[in-house]
Structure 1
Amino acid sequence: MKIIVKRILALIMVLTLTVGCQAIKNSNKTQRGAGIGAAAGALAGGLIGGNIGGALIGAAIGGAAGGVIGHTMDKQANKIEQAIPGAEVKRVGEGIQVVFDDKSGVNFDFDSANLTGPAKKNLDAIADVFLEFPDTNLMVEGHTDSVGNDGYNMSLSKKRANAVVNYLKSEGVAGNRFSVTSFGETRPRFDNATKEGQAKNRRVEIGISANKEMIEDAKAQTN
């Protein structure tokens, strides 16, 4: 009997995720903010686990308030795309994921955490957007390629994340908005067997989510 119940529950979860994913795929960005409920967000976040995408989905509050937040995030994402055309900007749940790699102008040379002149110029541009939308939390992740030992790469990825955070803070972005995580070489997005893949993996990612003030304001608007 227990086995049958478990199989039924597993089937329900698969069907729920399948229908939910299809509905999200067919929705617009603002509707995606409203459509992801807290329970579904927590489930999906748990399945994705431990990265910015999962954290953003898990943070979704859903409902009408989520739609209000999603609308604001749509506008912010568009401004980030305009500010840094080469960056990868994705709307995830009710938040935004920004990837700085070799195409964005905010990337890192081999074995370096130093920001180049072009990198600082691009960070200036995104800092202006963050200042325009102050009611957000900023999750910053640092990453490396696979060259070198694990411990060194973990330290290097933290330095890269902190280099971005410190520069944004110097441009006026409040320090209490940031959280920093370093992953070293453990979360590659591309094949480390190639020089091109290694360059893309030397990156920093930023997750943008609603803070307490934005959530409370969205709920007040919908009530």
Structure 2
Amino acid sequence: MIRPVHIALAGAAAMAVAACTTTDPYTGQVVRDNTRTGVLAGAAGGALLGYLTNTNKGEQGRKNALIGAGVGALAGGAVGNYMDRQQAQLRAQLAGSGVDVQRQGDNIILNMPSDVTFAVDQADIQSRFYPVLDELAQTLNQYPQTTIDVIGHADSTGADAYNQALSERRASSVASYLVSRGVLRDRLYVAGRGESQPIASNDTEAGRAQNRRVEVILRPLTG
């Protein structure tokens, strides 16, 4: 089953660890990090940031929301050039991070293997991956005329229902972090697809490792 998820704040849990701070990578200032605080609170309480069933009214509804927020749509030859520049910047920023940057037509697909982003059987983002997501958020904010799908996937080990829930929590963690870094919430569609869309054989450990992933799909906003 494919079940989309929508991000909600876990305010009470975050308050329990309100003293968490981080160093802003762009200013060097020590500031409170609300997302990392929320993730830590979620881990302590046995849950991540909450998520609810997505009530988004479909792709057109997302486009309308963005246009209403003042994000203009791309048209004609501007689309390819816009995505080319965004792809080039992402490749440069994410080089050596373990994140694979692919292009399919006008769409950009970022493949984040779970061994880079998450510990085994966990949905808390590994702290060493924060700088990578900070770089990604910076580029996403520089190129606002794209929609962002964050899709979690799992291998076939374990029960289908468990894998589905894990894929949702991982996608929600990545999306929540991006929102905390200024990415407009209306751009996001968040979903978990469990073990339903493998990209390699689940019969080998190497194949299962490829299937455990979070994909971020960037699509140009067109009229």
Of residues 94, 97, 115 in structure 1, which corresponds to 2:109?
97
CA offset at residue 207 of structure 1? 1.0
Once residues 108 and 202 of structure 1 are traced to their aligned partners in structure 2, the CA distance between those partners, rounded to angstroms, is 10
- Following TM superposition, where does structure 1 have runs of at least 4 consecutive aligned residues deviating by more than 4 angstroms? none
**Aligned partners of 1:108 and 1:202 also within 8 Å:** no
CA offset at residue 196 of structure 1? 2.2
Any stretches of 5+ residues in structure 1 without a counterpart?
Answer: 1-54, 56-63, 217-223
Once residues 198 and 181 of structure 1 are traced to their aligned partners in structure 2, the CA distance between those partners, rounded to angstroms, is 20
Name the SS of the counterpart of 1:138 in structure 2: strand
Counterpart of 2:181, as a letter, is E
Question: Number of paired residues?
Answer: 149
158 and 190 in structure 1: CA distance in 2 versus 1, 3 angstrom threshold: same
State the partner residue of 2:182: 172
1:60-79 matches, cutoff 5 A:
65-79=75-89
Counterpart of 1:71, as a letter, is N
1:157-196 matches, cutoff 5 A:
157-196=167-206
CA offset at residue 161 of structure 1? 0.4
TM-score normalized with structure 2 length = 0.62
**Aligned partners of 1:70 and 1:94 also within 8 Å:** yes
1:28-39 matches, cutoff 5 A:
none
**Aligned partners of 1:141 and 1:205 also within 8 Å:** yes
Name the SS of the counterpart of 1:189 in structure 2: coil
CA deviation map 1:59-106 (0-9, x unaligned): xxxxx9443111110110111111111322122222211111157x3x
The structure with the largest alpha-carbon Rg is 1
Name the SS of the counterpart of 1:125 in structure 2: helix
67 and 91 in structure 1: CA distance in 2 versus 1, 3 angstrom threshold: farther
Q: Considering fraction of residues, name the structure with more helix.
A: 1
**Aligned partners of 2:119 and 2:126 also within 8 Å:** no
Once residues 201 and 66 of structure 1 are traced to their aligned partners in structure 2, the CA distance between those partners, rounded to angstroms, is 35
CA deviation map 1:176-214 (0-9, x unaligned): 110012110111112222222222211100111122xxx
Give me the identity figure in percent. Answer: 36
- Greater relative contact order: 1 or 2 (C-alpha under 8 angstroms, separation 6 or more)? 2
Q: Considering fraction of residues, name the structure with more strand.
A: 2
CA deviation map 1:115-135 (0-9, x unaligned): 001221211111110011112
Counterpart of 1:112, as a letter, is Q
